Amino acid sequence: MGELNLTSAVSFMVSIQDDLRAVETLMRSQADERYPDLQSALDLLLSAGGKRIRPTLTLLAGKMLRAKGEPLLHLAAAIEMLHTATLVHDDLIDGSLLRRGMPTLNSRWSPGATVLTGDYLFARAANLAAQTDSIPVMKLFSETLSIIVGGELTQMFSTRCKADRTNYYQRIYAKTASLFETSAKSAALLCLTSELHTEALRAYGYSVGMAFQIIDDILDYTGEQATLGKPIGSDLRQGLVTLPAIYFAEMHPEHPLTINLIEGNCIQDQDVLDELIGAIRSSKAIQQSHQEAIQFVETALNHLSIFDPCPERLALEELAHHVVDRKF
């Protein structure tokens, strides 16, 4: 936790440490000195860390295609700023008090100030994106924000507690894979590379993003409460049926609690919920979900194969592997 510790960064980050530092500086410089409260909010949000995996992906993809330095740094900062802005509003809406073990903004500030801080970060993300001087990047950027927010609204209005594969893939695309996709594709757009290369990077980003969210959803079942900063099975406790529960329902139609997942009955009794979460944790559904994440990573690696071997391609391969190997 704490400040982004780049010295202990994983291998695929080593070659871009200086760039990541520059991205960090760019992000921190986005609060106008006229608004000291915003500066402290931004410092709080950025020092909470985060893996910076999206800007890492952008930087590696851009450097592989020999993107110009300044626009690429602005793009990477825009991507992470957009991500940060969505987290600020998410935590407010969910009433989350901790993220990555650190207090959320909404745990300290009023709802109004938190809404406005998120809005300010959206504005700065848009401004950073505009600094790339690329109209295609700007368009993709605003479309991605529409997809992320549209997905959250859909989730808010849709049936809870129900195992539904189609709905699940749509949801994790909107929530996570869309921004990974954009992190990679926008780097290609910046370089005016071929359609083939752009599409390959988009597909790589998409697949890595899908794998990333599936692993997140698995960790919600298998992680330690202290590491997660939330109770085990918190998704299901909130009525969110993710891939492990979907596999469980498919593989154990005979289990007395499966009917709830099929019919979309939200279980109110805590003991019954604990029992179902325990059953999912100890079932093969976890392994199956992990297998599916690995398949997404393999698809991602296949899409990279059209690029000539180079250190950045190797790092993007490592990044994809890291996504399924991570433990938190």
Where does this chain bind a second copy (CB under 8 A)? 32, 34-35, 37-38, 86, 89, 92-93, 110-113, 115-120, 122-124, 126-127, 129-131, 133, 135, 138-139, 141-143, 145-146, 149-150, 152-154, 156-157
Q: Which of 201, 204, 200, 230 is nearest to 217 (CA)?
A: 230
Tell me if 164 sits within 8 A of 241, measured CB to CB: yes
CB of 157 to a second copy, least distance (A): 5
Least distance CB 145 / a second copy (angstroms) = 4
- Asked if 54 and 208 touch (Cβ cutoff 8 Å), the reply is no
Indicate the residue among 125 and 208 with the shorter CB distance to a second copy: 125
Round to whole Å and give the CA distance between 292 and 99: 26
Q: Which residue has the tokens 């808010």?
A: 156
Q: How far is CA 211 from CA 89, 171, 275, in A?
A: 24, 13, 27
The terminus-to-terminus CA distance of the chain in angstroms comes to 12
Q: Which residue has the tokens 């298998």?
A: 222
Q: What share of the chain is helix, strand, coil (3-state, %, to 5)?
A: 75, 0, 25
Residue-by-residue DSSP string for 143-185? HHHHHHHHHHHHHHHSPPS---HHHHHHHHIIIIIHHHHHHHH
In this structure, what DSSP letter does residue 3 have? Answer: S
- Count of alpha carbons within 13 angstroms of residue 266, beta-carbon side: 10
The Cβ of residue 150 has, within 10 Å, a number of other Cβ atoms equal to: 12
Rounded least distance, CB 91 to a second copy, Å: 11
Judged by CB, which is closer to a second copy: 150, or 278? 150
Dihedral pair phi/psi, residue 151, rounded to 5° = -65, -40
Rg of the chain over all Cα atoms, to the nearest angstrom: 20
The Cα angle at residue 40 between residues 34 and 41, in degrees rounded to 5:
105
